[in-house]
Structure 1
Amino acid sequence: MANSRSGDSMTDRIVRVLDTFTTERTMQTATEIAARTGLPASSAHRIVGDLVAAGLLERDEDNRIRLGMRLWELALRGSSALRLRQAALPHMERVQTLIREHTQLAVLEHEEALFLERLSHPDAGANITRVAGRLPVHASSSGLVLLAHADPPIRERVLAGPLRAVARETVTGAATLRAMLTTIRRRGYVVAPGSIEAVSTGVAVPVRDHGEVVAALSVVLPRDSATAAAIDALLDAARAIEKDLNRSR
Structure 2
Amino acid sequence: MNETPSSGDGARPRRGGKPAEGQPVIDRAFALLGVFDSDHRAQTLGELAQRSGIPRSSALRLARSLVHAGALERLDDGRYVVGLRLLETASLAPRGHGLRSVAMPFMEDLFHVTRQHVLLAVREQHEALLVERLSALDASPVHYRVGGRLPLTTTGVGLVLLAFAPTTVQDHAIATYEPEQGRPRQGHDDICTPADLRRVLAEVRRGDHVFGRQSHPWPLNTVAAPVRDGGEVVAALSVVAPSTGFAEAGYGPAVRATARAVSRRLEEDGRRTTRPGNTRTAP
Matched, 1:191 2:211: yes
Superposition TM-score, scaled by structure 2 size: 0.82
The amino acid of 1:207's aligned partner reads V
Any residues of structure 2 matched to 1:82-161 within 5 Å, and which? 82-161=97-176
Q: Indicate the SS of the match to 1:138.
A: coil
**Deviation string, structure 1 residues 26-56 (Cα, Å, up to 9, x no partner):** 1111221111011110001110111001101
Q: Indicate the SS of the match to 1:207.
A: strand
Corresponding residue for 2:227?
207
Corresponding residue for 2:71?
56
The RMSD of aligned alpha carbons is 1.8
Any residues of structure 2 matched to 1:158-237 within 5 Å, and which? 158-164=173-179, 165-167=184-186, 169=189, 171-194=191-214, 197-224=217-244, 225-237=246-258
The amino acid of 1:242's aligned partner reads S
**Deviation string, structure 1 residues 201-236 (Cα, Å, up to 9, x no partner):** 121111111111010001111023212221111111
| Structure 1 residues 16 and 78: CA distance shift in structure 2, 3 A | closer
- Bigger shift: 59-68 or 143-152? 59-68
| Structure 1 residues 246 and 34: CA distance shift in structure 2, 3 A | same
| Structure 1 residues 175 and 34: CA distance shift in structure 2, 3 A | same
Q: Is the 8 Å Cα contact of residues 140 and 196 (structure 1) preserved in structure 2?
A: no
Unaligned runs of 5+ in 1: none
The amino acid of 2:36's aligned partner reads F
Q: Indicate the SS of the match to 1:83.
A: helix
Q: Is the 8 Å Cα contact of residues 19 and 54 (structure 2) preserved in structure 1?
A: no
Residue 144 of structure 1: CA displacement? 0.4
Tell me: higher relative CO, structure 1 or 2? Use CA pairs within 8 A at least 6 residues apart.
Answer: 2
**Deviation string, structure 1 residues 133-191 (Cα, Å, up to 9, x no partner):** 11110110110000011111111111111435532737241111111111111111111
Superposition TM-score, scaled by structure 1 size: 0.93
Unaligned runs of 5+ in 2: 1-17, 271-283
Paired residue for 1:81, among 96, 99, 110?
96
CA distance in 1, matches of 2:177, 2:261: 36
CA distance in 2, matches of 1:174, 1:156: 10
| Structure 1 residues 217 and 197: CA distance shift in structure 2, 3 A | farther
**Deviation string, structure 1 residues 75-101 (Cα, Å, up to 9, x no partner):** 222533211111111100000000001
Corresponding residue for 2:14?
none
CA distance in 2, matches of 1:155, 1:222: 29
CA distance in 2, matches of 1:124, 1:117: 16
CA distance in 2, matches of 1:56, 1:212: 33
| Structure 1 residues 11 and 215: CA distance shift in structure 2, 3 A | same
Q: Tell me how many residue pairs correspond in the alignment.
A: 247
Residue 13 of structure 1: CA displacement? 0.5
The amino acid of 2:211's aligned partner reads V
- Bigger shift: 110-119 or 68-77? 68-77
